[in-house]
């Protein structure tokens, strides 16, 4: 089974050394609290990861992610890595790699590798959103590159450092921007097929192969009609450029235009060899009117853009009132909803869940599994096993999600219709014997009645057509959908339980 992906909070937590810690225990440089979407995974940096332990950075920033590593930026107190614009003094890049299980099988850890600092004769990093990473051999090697462009100049400068090098290289490039008197505002960098794509969310994309020494730097404008005269504040809350299903995607929340009578909508365009193609443009009103959105109790307001699922461009994540939720755009369905408010970082200022502070990252298999099971995944693996065992030979039955996760019961409900007295009697039996191993409850077409009578909570019905499972919260419905319907293998839990006996 493919490793899962996570929302990675771009600002790592700082873990101060505990006076009671054993100095000889050699703690890991980094630890990762794995949490699956729509929750946020957070990386923690130990004191040993700090380039200057005497002046630790309390807000290190994750610049980029590759299949097997992360690139983070540290500064030294009182400065911090999560600072945009001009680089603070004493700044350092650190590669996070070699993910694996912690000693004793508790948690996921990683090691730190210092990237060589730039010499004093070379300009400092100008903007952290202009630094990109090409991951080589799952974190065993890397190419790091920053592009700097001066307004009005016909030249650009590329600064690179490779694995095993002890110094940065500078290459002068031709500036292909069509209007050189306009300022280039870095919005981020993505890596695809060994190339780096620097983007300005108001203008376009600059493309370069960092392994080639030729002076070529290509420019591609944003999709037709999406170029702005000037970059607007907080543009990253509504626009993003990312990779999904192996292609470069431009996604934007287009606000309502009262003058032209246009409703707010979500727009996506895919970069193809022949130009931009539009896979979809859907109105938020269609999403708001769907029953799945009504169950979230969120207001009918335009949300903020978070990320696009790396494997499914139709699945987009949004944030509204500090809640993250996913939407199947073409189907207008809310699939997952985090009832708890998200906590991205411990920054002393509000941080919206935009691409500036969140990164979609396919976990390395060693980080996803290690030698220990993720508790949430492990519980759903047991649910899948119990479901098959309990329903064996019982056609038209279904397992009660609430009974299993609340009380540890394997309660199955028959799908064929029966009379109301029998339904009431079976519900009563289930209520009186909720701790038993196999309570028989009939008529899963009316699973809501069982949940209402036994659990005092009618719950939320799974969005999957034909599925009658109900969960206590909409967030639980999202987890159920993810693990029971969203995996590449229907019986993924078999190998998972076998690996974690």
Determine the average pLDDT of the residues in 326-346.
81
**Least reliable range by pLDDT among 185-194, 287-296, 433-442:** 433-442
Q: What is the mean pLDDT of residues 17-45?
A: 75
Evaluate if residue 49 carries a pLDDT over 50: yes
Record the tokens describing residue 127, joined without a space.
């903007």
C-alpha 79: how far from chain center: 27
* C-beta neighbour count of 352 within 10 angstroms: 17
Q: Percentage of the chain with pLDDT > 70?
A: 82
pLDDT tens-digit map of 141-158: 899 999 999 888 999 999
Cα-only R_g, the chain: 25
pLDDT band at 430 (very low <50, low <70, confident <90, very high): very low
Query: Which of 57-61, 198-202, 421-425, 472-476 has the lowest average pLDDT?
Result: 421-425
Q: Domains (ranges, CATH) in the chain? A: 5-368 (2.130.10), 375-499 (no CATH)
Task: Say which residues have a Cβ less than 8 Å from residue 22's Cβ, sequence separation at least 6.
Answer: none
DSSP state of 485: T
Query: How far are the Cα atoms of 6, 61, 144 from residue 170, in angstroms, in the given order?
Result: 34, 24, 12
Residue 19 has pLDDT above 70, yes or no: no
Contact 6, 37 (CB under 8 A): yes
pLDDT digits (tens, 9 = 90+) for 241-299: 999 999 999 999 999 887 676 889 999 999 999 999 999 999 999 999 998 898 888 89
pLDDT of 414 above 50: yes
Q: What are 378's two structure tokens?
A: 């492990």
Tell me the C-alpha distance between 50 and 121, whole Å. Answer: 24
pLDDT bucket at 94, cuts 50 / 70 / 90: very high
Q: Which pLDDT value is given to residue 156?
A: 93
């Amino acid at each position: 089974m493919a490793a899962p992906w996570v929302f990675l909070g771009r600002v790592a937590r700082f873990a101060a050394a505990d006076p009671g810690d054993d100095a000889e225990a050699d703690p890991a440089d980094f630890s990762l609290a794995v949490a699956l979407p729509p929750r946020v995974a957070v990386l923690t940096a130990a004191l040993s990861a700090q380039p200057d332990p005497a002046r630790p950075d309390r807000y290190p920033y994750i610049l980029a992610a590759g299949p097997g590593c992360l690139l983070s930026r540290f500064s030294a107190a009182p400065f911090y890595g999560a600072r945009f614009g001009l680089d603070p003094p004493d700044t350092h890049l650190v590669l996070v790699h070699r993910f694996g299980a912690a000693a004793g099988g508790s948690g996921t850890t990683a090691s730190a590798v210092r990237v060589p600092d730039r010499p004093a004769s070379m300009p400092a990093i100008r903007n952290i959103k202009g630094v990109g990473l090409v991951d080589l051999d799952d974190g065993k090697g890397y190419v790091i590159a920053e592009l700097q462009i001066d307004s009005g100049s016909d030249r650009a400068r590329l600064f690179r450092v490779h694995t095993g090098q002890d110094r940065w290289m500078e290459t002068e490039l031709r500036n292909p921007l069509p209007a050189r008197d306009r300022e280039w505002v870095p919005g981020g960098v993505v890596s695809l097929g060994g190339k780096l794509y620097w983007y300005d969310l108001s203008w376009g994309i600059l493309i370069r192969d960092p392994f080639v020494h030729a002076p070529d730097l290509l420019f591609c404008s944003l999709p037709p009609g999406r170029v702005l005269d000037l970059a607007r504040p907080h543009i990253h809350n509504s626009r993003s450029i990312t990779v999904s299903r192996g292609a470069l995607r431009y996604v934007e929340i287009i606000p309502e235009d009262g003058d032209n009578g246009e409703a707010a909508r979500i727009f996506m365009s895919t970069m193809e060899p022949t130009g931009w193609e539009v896979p979809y443009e859907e109105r938020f009103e269609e999403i708001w009117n769907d029953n799945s959105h009504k169950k979230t109790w969120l207001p009918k307001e335009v949300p903020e853009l978070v990320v696009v699922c790396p494997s499914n461009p139709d699945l987009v994540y949004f944030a509204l009132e500090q809640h993250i939720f996913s939407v199947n755009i073409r189907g207008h369905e809310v699939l997952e909803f985090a009832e708890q408010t998200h906590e991205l970082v411990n920054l002393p200022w509000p941080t919206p869940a935009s691409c500036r502070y969140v990164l979609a990252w396919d976990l390395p298999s060693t980080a996803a599994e290690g030698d220990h099971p993720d508790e949430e995944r492990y519980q759903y693996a047991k649910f899948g096993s119990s479901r098959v065992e309990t329903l064996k030979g019982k056609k038209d039955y279904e397992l009660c999600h609430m009974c299993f996760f609340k009380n540890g019961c394997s309660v199955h409900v028959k799908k064929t219709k029966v009379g109301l007295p029998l339904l009431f009697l079976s519900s009563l039996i289930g209520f009186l014997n909720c701790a038993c191993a196999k309570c028989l409850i009939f008529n899963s077409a009316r699973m809501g009645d069982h949940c209402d009578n036994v659990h005092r909570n009618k719950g939320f019905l799974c969005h999957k057509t034909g599925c009658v499972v109900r969960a206590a919260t909409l967030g639980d419905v999202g987890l159920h959908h993810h693990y029971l319907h969203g995996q590449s293998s229907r019986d993924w839990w078999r190998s998972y339980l076998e690996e974690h006996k």
